[in-house]
Amino acid sequence: MTEAQTPATEQLTASSYSIDNYAEAVDSGRWLTDYSELFYNDMDDYWEPPISPAGLAQIARANAYHGSALIARSNYVTGRFQSGGGMRKRQLQGFNRDYFTFGHGALLKIRDHFGRVVRLEHISSMYLRRRKNGKFRFLLRDNEFKDYNENDIIWLGQYDPQQQIYGMPDYLGSIQSSMLNQDATMFRRRYYLNGAHMGFIFYATDPNLSKKDEDDLKQKIQSSKGVGNFRSMFVNIPNGNEKGLQLIPVGDIATKDEFERIKNITAQDILVGHRFPPGKGGMVPQGAASFGDPEKVGREYARDEIIPVCELIMDEVNNDPEVPKALHLKFNTELEKAS
């Protein structure tokens, strides 16, 4: 079997049905991550996902913490894979990335001429759609598609109480924080790059300052500004009060503090959304705080989060009646003993 083409753009339209007309869209101005009531696309003959997979894939690159947590969770599960399915670790890693990013993952059964399953292969769930007849439709380029029978796909989805067609990722509650973290970073970048704000105000009140001297000062100030740097302003108020000449910085201490606060709080929210240990997520302890013994934290995390996912994958694949015992998946589900 040749690897299916990946579509350059996904031909999807926004659902006109809103689950809550008063809810604030996750990504304002775009519908990519706005949860919609599940509806059937009769033209293309498949169920539309309640949240755009393209939107979830984009948010995975929104900031350092969210994307890293997705990769780490996938790597931890992949690292415990031992054998099975005729797959290499990189194929299972693709399945895990889909499972954590989109809330569901899929494996395709590869058959011989007699219809027997001889190996399993990861198939991208970002472009996989479910149909009313139970079959699956894989979206290709140029509005093409390829259909698979229901028993050709092993589908593992995270539970969503609002619908049972697609799985929903478990981090949805932290998407707002993920987007705010990105917005804060982009705002800060624009602040430094756009050059539309002042670096300082050169304030003069000396009535004896001649027009020539004033023009010379303006020229010096203007010529000191490079592309994208802070802009400065010259103001001359003859017979002004107090000092004849002052240099007044336009400070942003409050803005700086607020930026750091937003970044720290949203980073914590993102890791909480993934139930990811802050120490493993790259968080730096504040003040005298400590994240505890990393070895113990790692074992607890493996017991509570990594091993259960390994067991879910094994349960789904190994209980498929068409998958022979020789292809059953095997993961290391043992906890390392404390030294």
Regarding whether 11 and 146 lie in a shared domain, the answer is yes
**Whether residue 148 sits in one domain with residue 218:** no
Q: Residue 37: inside a domain, yes or no?
A: yes
| Same domain assignment for residues 163 and 215 | no
Q: Of residues 225 and 304, which shows the higher confidence score? A: 304
* Residue at 39 is within a domain: yes
Residues 309 and 234 in one domain: no
- As a whole number of angstroms, the distance between CA 40 and CA 131 comes to 8
Q: Is the pLDDT of residue 249 over 60?
A: no
Number of helices (H) and strands (E) in the chain: give both, helices first: 8, 13
- The pLDDT, as a whole number, for residue 23 is 41
- Which of 222, 249, 276 terminates a domain? The answer is 249
Domain identity same for 66 and 112: yes
* Sign of the alpha-carbon torsion through 77, 80, 82, 88: positive
> Is the same domain home to 91 and 136?
yes
Report the C-alpha gap between 309 and 332 in whole angstroms.
12
Lowest mean pLDDT among 50-64, 233-247, 313-327: 233-247
Model confidence, pTM: 0.76
The pLDDT of residue 117 is: 97
State whether 97 and 235 are in the same domain: no
Encode pLDDT of 93-118 as tens digits: 999 999 999 999 999 999 999 999 99
Range of the domain at 217: 198-249
Q: Give me the pLDDT at residue 214, please.
A: 79
Q: Are residues 43 and 132 in the same domain?
A: yes
Q: Based on the domain organization, do 219 and 301 belong to the same domain?
A: no
> CA-to-CA distance for 67 and 94, rounded, in angstroms?
14
Q: What is the tens place of the pLDDT at every residue in 1-19?
A: 444 444 433 333 333 333 3
Least confidently predicted of 156-165, 173-182, 251-260: 251-260
In the predicted model, is pLDDT for residue 222 greater than 90?
no
The bridge status of strand 145-148 relative to strand 198-204 is: unpaired
Same domain (yes/no): 84, 229: no
Query: Is the distance from CB of 154 to CB of 322 less than 8 angstroms?
Result: no
pLDDT (tens digit, 9 = 90+) per residue, 250-267? 545 445 668 888 888 999
How far lies 55's CA from each of 27, 58, 60, 166, in Å? Answer: 9, 5, 9, 15
Higher pLDDT, 257 or 59: 59
Residue 194 to residue 231: CA distance in whole angstroms? 10
Considering the chain, what is the average pLDDT of its residues? 81
The answer as to whether 123 is a domain residue is: yes
